[in-house]
Structure 1
């Protein structure tokens, strides 16, 4: 199939929700591709988002030569998916997209269930971002979604995983496609390695992320309540995010007697939040390779994190500092121990982790790796990334 022709890339990113790390990944990748002269478009849900993400899409839209296409996409499977897939088909035909880069379980299903003309060379790239691979093995949901993943695997030219952990889950529960699997780590920009100053922090602890069960913020609230009950010590938590469990989490903090110590704020630019607390906590039950951990590490924000998903791949030689998820006593113990450390000791640990992340998680390396994946999936040679860049037209 391979020949000496490097195709013009017309890239359409397909996903459901413009939220969280998945959206951050799409934004970074899209901006990098636009800067290199590629023609790019976006297809995503019209009903999901917040002020921050809507502003990001509004800023991006004029640069998208293949357009920004919003269509109603439900979180769970349903009859509405048929209309959404038809809409995606219309967009693909009108734009002539030859790379469908699908993100998340819903995006992956749409791009791979979409009928494609046999007369055109079109590559379907699937990046799960955890997605269906985060369901607990042995559950009915996990069995159901793994069956769907197996059925759609043959309609995928390339799988890209942002962590070895999720790639391993794919090999275990889907398998049969090793030659089409690549691990391409999420990367962040050089400017994000500028350190933050937490010297005047008004809060002890910081949580940034979605307010839902998988993120484990309920265990963080319980840990603070345990510390208060055992020692009388009060700790202030700033929780920044939105999600379906907001009201339940506010009620949980009140019921545990620490309602006045937990302050919830809506999503906002992440660099504006770093430094408002002495230590950031990532109490997740499931992750792939979370941007929030990369960003916090790069900014030298002291971190406490659970040992889940691809987080150990971020921490590398410092992974022994991670703690198990769903362990409230251990989390409470680690919070107290970390806050009681000398600030210089906390800062030194944060500096060492930042240097490790700087060496391994580059935005440029991510963009280059994805481009090479596109060319391979299209059956084109990959002699050099720059050769493909030179042939693109805006």
Structure 2
């Protein structure tokens, strides 16, 4: 059994590469041979012990062209040769943008089953990953329409060329038609949450092709410990962990912090922001303009091995994201048992239920109210966090996730067709009902 994946970065700093690394290590530990297919030459078999092979194709067309119509001829030839020489049992993709349609086409031609893990809600708005308005101003971001304006804008930014929006619309419509045909060859789409499953179903993916397997919490470089409330009188400490990009919503958290400080100036409140990214200069400038420089610390990206200490030294974790599938910071905070205030995006409401304060995204006032709700009733917040800790440690372990992934592999490998038509378990049936409620009324 073999998993072959596209990985965009050699260092697992985001959710997708971290998940790929975790799954790869677990499969290797269980005796499977794994080849990793990447688009970065820096990752080698030596950097991830146990890898049987790594393959880094070279793009023939510019990256933006491949985003619009991701079938690169050079990658096609290279992947076909690699597939014939390595002969995998399963091709497992973790990125269906860029040139990742090529492995689906090649694997279908070779008769190898394909599994795709969806780490975002990409087909709902075709250009997910191309959006240049991740601050929430793009009205098409959560619609089913194809946003050709965003791609035309990106074409001007990256390639210094102007393409009429009407022409880009025709290109994208043709590309989406091609994608839909290619996706028929995918045996199973694995989604981390029901909301992502519903979005790809609404984009035209059959419910029978969708399986829900939540992420695990990798513990190889993350020490799981139980959070203990800090003694009073030392001020209030908030923690935000994530890449500093507009879509992570830290700008709304800063405005919310200003509102909290205005209501309770005596709180001695401190926000620690862990992470780095292209949006950091704007966030630091916003911090200064809101007169929060004494209350906010930007400490940059940190090793995961240091995160447990940061969680232990906080009173509240805030997740202000505008869009997520299932963020690892939510799994980390829930497993450790820290009180959480988070936005109602992706799988966050599904995994926390009533065990966290959930507020609307892009709403600084609602975020401020959520923070104040936790600070005004610490006992209730600690009780919610303790319930979340017990549930997370039971439901989001590596073994549980990889067992379910192996089950999908075995079903597709042993079936004559790509989609395994079989009786579903109770948990999968419940997920199917959540993805397609009208069908199961």
Structure 1 length as normaliser, TM-score? 0.80
| Separation in structure 2 between the aligned mates of residue 244 and residue 75 of structure 1, nearest angstrom | 22
| Separation in structure 2 between the aligned mates of residue 19 and residue 71 of structure 1, nearest angstrom | 23
Pair 348,260 (structure 1): closer, same or farther in 2 beyond 3 Å:
same
| Separation in structure 2 between the aligned mates of residue 281 and residue 334 of structure 1, nearest angstrom | 9
Q: CA deviation at 1:87?
A: 4.3
| Separation in structure 1 between the aligned mates of residue 409 and residue 313 of structure 2, nearest angstrom | 40
After TM superposition, the structure 1 = structure 2 runs for residues 35-54 of structure 1, keeping only pairs within 5 Å, are 35-46=29-40
| Separation in structure 2 between the aligned mates of residue 113 and residue 367 of structure 1, nearest angstrom | 22
After TM superposition, the structure 1 = structure 2 runs for residues 141-160 of structure 1, keeping only pairs within 5 Å, are 141=147, 144=172, 149-160=179-190
| Separation in structure 1 between the aligned mates of residue 46 and residue 236 of structure 2, nearest angstrom | 32
1:179 to 196, 199, 208: 208
> 1:101-144 CA distances to partner (integer Å, 9 max, x unpaired)?
111332783454543474x4312111111151464115533995
Aligned position for 2:96: 105
Pair 75,231 (structure 1): closer, same or farther in 2 beyond 3 Å:
farther
| Separation in structure 1 between the aligned mates of residue 83 and residue 376 of structure 2, nearest angstrom | 56
CA contact (8 A) 1:85 1:110 kept: no
2:284 to 250, 265, 268: 250
Aligned position for 1:240: 274
CA contact (8 A) 2:274 2:299 kept: yes
| Separation in structure 2 between the aligned mates of residue 199 and residue 368 of structure 1, nearest angstrom | 37
Q: Secondary structure at the match of 1:247?
A: helix
38-47 vs 192-201, which moves further:
192-201
Q: CA deviation at 1:220?
A: 0.3
| Pair 1:338-2:374 in alignment | yes
Q: CA deviation at 1:305?
A: 0.8
Pair 79,25 (structure 1): closer, same or farther in 2 beyond 3 Å:
closer
CA contact (8 A) 2:144 2:203 kept: no
Instruction: Give aligned pairs, total.
Output: 364
Q: Secondary structure at the match of 1:115?
A: helix
Aligned position for 1:325: 361
Aligned position for 2:143: 137
> 1:138-190 CA distances to partner (integer Å, 9 max, x unpaired)?
55339958656424311312111111110111111223x22221111212368
Relative to its length, the structure with more helix (as a share) is 1
Q: Secondary structure at the match of 1:351?
A: helix
Aligned position for 2:52: 65
Q: Give the root-mean-square deviation of aligned CA atoms.
A: 3.3
Q: Secondary structure at the match of 1:12?
A: coil
Q: CA deviation at 1:192?
A: 5.7
Q: CA deviation at 1:340?
A: 3.4
| Separation in structure 1 between the aligned mates of residue 114 and residue 146 of structure 2, nearest angstrom | 28
| Separation in structure 2 between the aligned mates of residue 100 and residue 40 of structure 1, nearest angstrom | 10
| Separation in structure 1 between the aligned mates of residue 258 and residue 322 of structure 2, nearest angstrom | 19
| Pair 1:378-2:372 in alignment | no
| Separation in structure 2 between the aligned mates of residue 92 and residue 333 of structure 1, nearest angstrom | 54
| Pair 1:169-2:206 in alignment | no
| Pair 1:349-2:343 in alignment | no
Q: CA deviation at 1:317?
A: 4.5
- Which structure 1 segments of 5+ residues have no match? 1-8, 49-53, 384-394
| Separation in structure 2 between the aligned mates of residue 131 and residue 358 of structure 1, nearest angstrom | 26
| Separation in structure 2 between the aligned mates of residue 302 and residue 292 of structure 1, nearest angstrom | 12
256-265 vs 279-288, which moves further:
256-265
CA contact (8 A) 1:108 1:128 kept: no
| Separation in structure 2 between the aligned mates of residue 286 and residue 65 of structure 1, nearest angstrom | 35
> 1:8-39 CA distances to partner (integer Å, 9 max, x unpaired)?
x1221223244311122112211110111000
- Kindly indicate whether structure 1 or structure 2 has the higher relative contact order, using CA contacts under 8 Å at least 6 residues apart: 1
Q: CA deviation at 1:240?
A: 0.8
| Separation in structure 2 between the aligned mates of residue 101 and residue 173 of structure 1, nearest angstrom | 21
| Separation in structure 2 between the aligned mates of residue 73 and residue 302 of structure 1, nearest angstrom | 48
Pair 331,124 (structure 1): closer, same or farther in 2 beyond 3 Å:
same
Pair 116,351 (structure 1): closer, same or farther in 2 beyond 3 Å:
closer
After TM superposition, the structure 1 = structure 2 runs for residues 172-321 of structure 1, keeping only pairs within 5 Å, are 172-175=202-205, 177-188=206-217, 193-197=224-228, 199=230, 204-232=237-265, 235-268=269-302, 269=304, 270-318=307-355, 321=357
Q: CA deviation at 1:290?
A: 1.7
Aligned position for 1:14: 6
| Separation in structure 1 between the aligned mates of residue 78 and residue 259 of structure 2, nearest angstrom | 51
- Which structure 2 segments of 5+ residues have no match? 129-140, 149-168, 423-441
Structure 2 length as normaliser, TM-score? 0.73
